[in-house]
Amino acid sequence: MELNYQVSEEQRKIWAVQLDLLQKFKEICDKYGLRYSATAGTLLGAVRHKGFIPWDDDIDVALMWPDYQKLLEVAPKECQYPYFFQSYLTEKDSETNACRLRRSDTTGFTRWEYENVGGDYNLGIFIDIFPLFYIPDDPAIRKAQKENVLHYWKCIRGYNAVRQQLLGKKVNETYQQYIPLYEKMAASMTIEQIKRAYLDACAVSDSPQRELGATASRIHLPTLMWDTAWYANYIDLPFEGTTISCPLCYEEVLRKQYGDWRTPVMNGAMHEMFFVDTETPYADYLRTNEQGRQAEG
């Protein structure tokens, strides 16, 4: 059942770029022995549709924290034009909860990126790459972790508010209240160090625990916490003419996250890109956009 959804030709072009990015990502993982898994809507799509959910517009993959750290180290040198590996280490405005593999010969960015990043930020079409962390079994440690993660999250959002001010964007009111906290932290730490501290707080449990989850995305959100045993083994599943690695216990993972995952529901899964163009390099888009603003001024 596909709810009679018609995939546009433009959507297929976007998918083709993302499949190319997936292939590049898989090559890097194979070269360095990194184990990854489809996650979120991409896992759901692989299991239910053997490819993209028809109304989805991205690819999401995840690695356990040790492999994710290795990826942060090796991926930049493996990505020559048009590929670009984007993380808080390669671009300070980058989100902390994930890194992105992008195609610089295209343009595709979200509203969050439009509101929060500078003109030197890579805005090519992308796939998202998330870290997974062990979640502390001990309730006291789990509580302390949550407080620590939220502390650094607020610091980062304070930084985002400062960037919005500098870029002349409308400042998020929630973020604005965290500016003093960020400025206090910034007296002794760079934004890169703050973001690393955030990830280190997510990784407080470095030995296997009963559960793992996307702690950097949503701290201890039940639907993003899974039994570690479900990720003990992986299987390659068909995905749009290629394959993608998935946890062998994908049914359990999907049931925890989505409930009745077998019934398709159009629920706003798309990133709702602020702008996307599969044929225009993002640098050309930015140059043209800036010239247009100058002409209006």
Q: Calculate what percentage of the chain has a pLDDT beyond 70.
A: 94
Q: At what angle do helices 9-32 and 65-78 cross, to 10 degrees?
A: 100
Is residue 142 within 8 Å of 222, Cβ to Cβ? no
At 267, the amino acid letter reads: N
Domain 9-133+210-296 architecture:
2-Layer Sandwich (3.30)
At 87, the amino acid letter reads: S
**Could you tell me the pTM of the whole model?**
0.93
Is residue 213 within 8 Å of 225, Cβ to Cβ? yes
Quick: pLDDT tens for 222-247.
999 999 999 999 999 999 999 999 99
Distance CA 107, CA 262 (A): 33
Structure tokens at 133: 């962390």
Q: How is the chain split into domains, by residue range?
A: 9-133+210-296, 138-204
Quick: pLDDT tens for 21-43.
999 999 999 999 999 999 999 99
Distance of CA 211 to the CA centre of its chain: 21
What is the four-CA torsion angle of 47, 50, 54, 60, rounded to 10 degrees?
A: 60
Q: How many CA atoms lie within 13 A of 51 on its CB side?
A: 12
Question: What does the pLDDT average to over 284-292?
Answer: 75
Distance CA 225, CA 267 (A): 21
Structure tokens at 256: 């925890």
Largest CA distance in the chain: 60
Quick: pLDDT tens for 192-219.
999 999 999 999 988 999 999 999 999 9
Q: Calculate what percentage of the chain has a pLDDT beyond 90.
A: 80
Quick: pLDDT tens for 89-129.
999 899 999 999 999 999 999 988 988 887 789 999 999 99
Q: What share of the chain is helix, strand, coil (3-state, %, to 5)?
A: 45, 20, 35
